[in-house]
Amino acid sequence: MSFIQELKERSQTTNRKIVFPEGNDPRILRAARIVKDQEIATPIILGKEKELWAINVDPIKGISDFLIVDPAESEEYEEFYHKYYEMRKDKGVSLEKAKDLLKDPLYFSAMMVKNGFADGSVAGAANTTANVLRPALQIIGTASGVSVVSGTFIMLIDTPHVPRDMLIFADCAVNPQPDAQQLAEIAVSSARTARSITGLNPSVALLSFSTKGSAQHPLIDKVVEACRIARKMEPDIGIDGELQADAAIVPNIGERKAPNSKVAGKANVLIFPDLQSANISYKLVERLANITVIGPILQGMEKPVNDLSRGCSVEDIVNLTAITVLQADQVSQSSSGKTKEESEVQVESKS
């Protein structure tokens, strides 16, 4: 079974509600139809019913079986803008501003997730990453023990000379210039995402343009320091750096450049030193190697919100929804008191 099929099947066992703030985008309505018909989740669509009917992506079923919410007309609108005002008044937000912002589906959906009306949210088909992230960061915030939200991509590899079928890239989406502490957190969060969503046994490489002191520069020092902090945070996970990309993933190069490293040559979670290198790398790999990428999967949020690329396909939306469902399931298992190990989804371990 393909990894994507497996994701969908796992999400079908859960029964989660996912809110789609961008109901006016036809791709969202098409994806929501698949999500509902395949029982991946119960979709909640934000928008005006009349406008959504006008888009009419499904002439047979239409949208009559969707739960549709118009933020400004909803029963929760007043409660939500008051809550937002209380949360943000110390940051200078007025009640008038709160009233305005909560008419915005991205703010309203974050409030729905925060208050348990939905288990997660998927947006970004029609909005920039920053616009999707800001309300989520302000309203939902980070999970306990986490200070940095970041974004990973699952890269599904189909190239004979790379001896693995999947790599995780991070942070390709959120933090323009993480410091050493933030980079360490990104490494640890990505290892956890790798394990829980993909079943990988994480082997984490902190990437640089140097391998084990082959070059000297303050930028390399940051990566070395991040590696030290990450190892302290998660001593049971294989984490190493600084490593060049070839030393990280190609076994004979890893052996030559970093002979004492348990990660070199075997890394499956690649942590880039900043957003420019990460974002450029994932897009180049996607386009040049013509491989399937899934993400960005936002990690570190108290409840899941995921961000699509504006160039996304219907299939991308369905896949990210399945992941959002699995993340929501984990949140609920963790809050019901299960241990980290128990709540991590059990899937066949891949190297």
Q: String of b and e for 80-108 (b: at least 16 CB within 10 Å)?
A: bbebbbebbeeeebeeeebbebbebbbbb
Please name which of 149, 128, 153 lies closest in space to residue 284, comparing C-alpha atoms. 153
**Does 184 sit near ligand ACO (CB under 6 A)?**
no
**Which of these segments, 66-74, 169-177, 186-194, 261-269, binds ligand ACO (CB under 6 A)?**
169-177
Please name which of 140, 55, 154, 138 lies closest in space to residue 97, comparing C-alpha atoms. 138
Q: What character string, x for contact with ligand ACO (CB under 6 A) and - otherwise, covers 267-286?
A: ------------x-------
Residues 287 to 316 in contact with ligand ACO, rule: CB under 6 A: 296, 309
**Which of these segments, 16-24, 48-56, 142-150, 186-194, binds ligand ACO (CB under 6 A)?**
142-150
**Which of these segments, 4-12, 99-107, 133-141, 185-193, binds ligand ACO (CB under 6 A)?**
133-141
Per-residue DSSP letters for 71-131?
A: GGGSTTHHHHHHHHHHHHGGGT--HHHHHHHTTSHHHHHHHHHHTTS-SEEEE-SSS-HHH
- Two tokens, residue 241: 């750096």
**Does 190 sit near ligand ACO (CB under 6 A)?**
no
Helix (H, G, I), strand (E, B), or coil: what is residue 294?
strand
The minimum distance between CB 91 and ligand ACO, in angstroms, equals 6
Beta bridge partners of residue 269, listed in sequence order: 168, 204
**Which of these segments, 11-19, 96-104, 173-181, 221-229, binds ligand ACO (CB under 6 A)?**
173-181
Nearer to ligand ACO, 101 or 206 (CB): 101
**Residues 155 and 167: beta-carbon distance below 8 Å:** yes
**Does 133 sit near ligand ACO (CB under 6 A)?**
yes
The minimum distance between CB 53 and ligand ACO, in angstroms, equals 31
Q: What character string, x for contact with ligand ACO (CB under 6 A) and - otherwise, covers 82-111?
A: ---------x--------------------
**Does 174 sit near ligand ACO (CB under 6 A)?**
yes
DSSP 210: -
Number of shown-chain residues binding ligand ACO (CB under 6 A): 18
Q: Which of 42, 175, 244, 321 binds ligand ACO (CB under 6 A)?
A: 175
- Two tokens, residue 332: 């609920």
> End-to-end alpha-carbon separation of the chain, Å?
17
Helix (H, G, I), strand (E, B), or coil: what is residue 175?
coil
The minimum distance between CB 130 and ligand ACO, in angstroms, equals 4
* Site residues (vs ligand ACO, CB under 6 A): 91, 129-130, 133-134, 137-138, 142, 148-149, 172-176, 279, 296, 309
